Amino acid sequence: GADFQFTISDRNGRNLTNDVITDPRVGGISQVQEVYGRGQTWRLTQLWYRQKFFDGGLDIKLGRMNFGEDFGSFPCKFQNLAFCGAQPGNWAGDIIYNWPITQWAGRVKVALSDNTYAQIGAYEQNPSYLEIGNGFKLSGSGNEGTLVPVELVHTTSLGAGRLPGEYRVGAYYSSRDANDVNTEENGAPKSRDSKHGAWIAAQQQVWKDPDFAARGVSVFAYATVHDKAASMIDRSVQAGVFYTAPFKSRPNDEIGVAISNIHVNERYKDNQQQMNDLAGVSDYDDPRYTPTQGSETNMEIYYGFGVTKWLTVRPNIQFVGNPGGVSEVRDAWVAGLKFETSL
């Protein structure tokens, strides 16, 4: 009942979102390349030991881990970050570290029934791990707090066809000090001693072809909410559909369609306006102007070619509305291509 995981990752490349699509004064919210982010460098991404007890009724995991591999987990078939991985870490990235960042952590999972379990974790909050030169840092120096997530996960098998589904609801609490997104009249940030948030996620197959088992339709939805006192993003929502085996001659192919909306905290937006008022600027084209951010919409459709059992190729088309949440920035269309291997 034990296993050990050791993973090293390397990221190198350019960020199309910030280089081409968004206003550089504020940058993007989501990214059209989910594989970009957290520094283009080599990193230790996993180094943990897991032990199961009581026929899997108790599962303990310790070591260097990232939040999204256990909490709020979601597949990463799409190329846009808004539809990839654990969403709480995408929108509260100052306190939640997803792949490829790793930190000292522990997680305890307890089975409540054959198809339901609860889990709780404790993750070191150490911003020094984000630095380019600290990809293999192990010392723990620079820790500023602890992130504690809790989650309840339930799996289903609906109807005579036993259609699989998974439902997650969770919350997190961060003990790390945070700055209020708004400021005092003198421009100094207010201090907060914690941050919190929550999420809910659902994936459910809703139809399976009785004459062709590989063909089916699954739907998904994901929503997060975040502390309005100290978070730039206060909520996000996404939804989509997977359609597998659209052609009998292509049993391993899949079509994915998704849409999301990521909303900037009104208090954060008010602070941006206050900065412009203090600077005496109101013209968007003035380089001193801080663009005010509202919400960003992302959409993606892909066709996944199951070339072999170990290689999937997914060309996609993406749409980004109000890039960076700035209405003055032109909407963008992006063509992407993602390769996935499983050896």
Find the domain containing 268 and state its range. Answer: 2-341
Q: What is the 3-state secondary structure (H, E, C) of 314-340?
A: EEEEEEEECHHHCCCCCCEEEEEEEEE
Predicted pLDDT of residue 160:
84
Q: CA-CA distance, 313 to 143, in Å (whole number)?
A: 40
- 100 cis-preceded (ω within 30 degrees of 0): yes
- What would the pLDDT profile of 148-162 be if each residue is shown by its tens digit? 999 999 999 998 889
Spell out the residues 6+ positions from residue 96 whose beta carbon is closer than 8 angstroms to its own.
67, 86, 88, 89, 147, 172, 174
pLDDT grade for 191, boundaries at 50, 70 and 90 = confident
Structure tokens at 99: 């792949």
What's 87's domain CATH number? 2.40.160.180
CA 71, 123, 261, 226 dihedral sign is: positive
Average pLDDT on 25-42 reads: 92
Residue 119: is its pLDDT beyond 60?
yes
The pTM assigned to this predicted structure is 0.92
Alpha-carbon distance of 212 to 263, in angstroms, equals 41
Cα 198 to the center of its chain, rounded Å: 13
Per the CB < 8 A criterion, the answer to whether 115 and 154 are in contact is yes
Residue 184 has pLDDT above 70, yes or no: no
pLDDT at position 343 is 83
| Model confidence band, residue 217 (pLDDT cutoffs 50, 70, 90) | very high
Q: What is the pLDDT of residue 143?
A: 93
Q: Which pLDDT belongs to residue 258?
A: 98
Burial classification of residue 194, based on how many CB atoms lie within 10 Å of its CB (0-12 exposed, 13-18 middle, 19 or more buried): middle
Region 267-294 average pLDDT: 93
Mean pLDDT, rounded, for 257-261: 98
- C-alpha closest to that of 46 among 20, 73, 67, 21: 67
Report the percent of the chain where pLDDT is more than 70. 98
Question: Is 90 exceeded by the pLDDT of residue 188?
Answer: no
Q: Which amino acid is at 54?
A: F
Give the pLDDT score at 190.
80
Q: What percent of the chain has pLDDT over 90?
A: 87
Residue 179 confidence (pLDDT)? 86
Question: Model confidence over 287-309: pLDDT tens digits?
Answer: 999 999 999 999 999 999 999 98
Mean pLDDT computed over 133-150: 93
pLDDT on residue 186: 60
Comparing CA positions, the residue from 323, 333, 259, 264 lying closest to residue 31 is 323
- Most confidently modeled range among 29-38, 180-189, 232-241: 232-241
Number of compact structural domains in the chain = 1
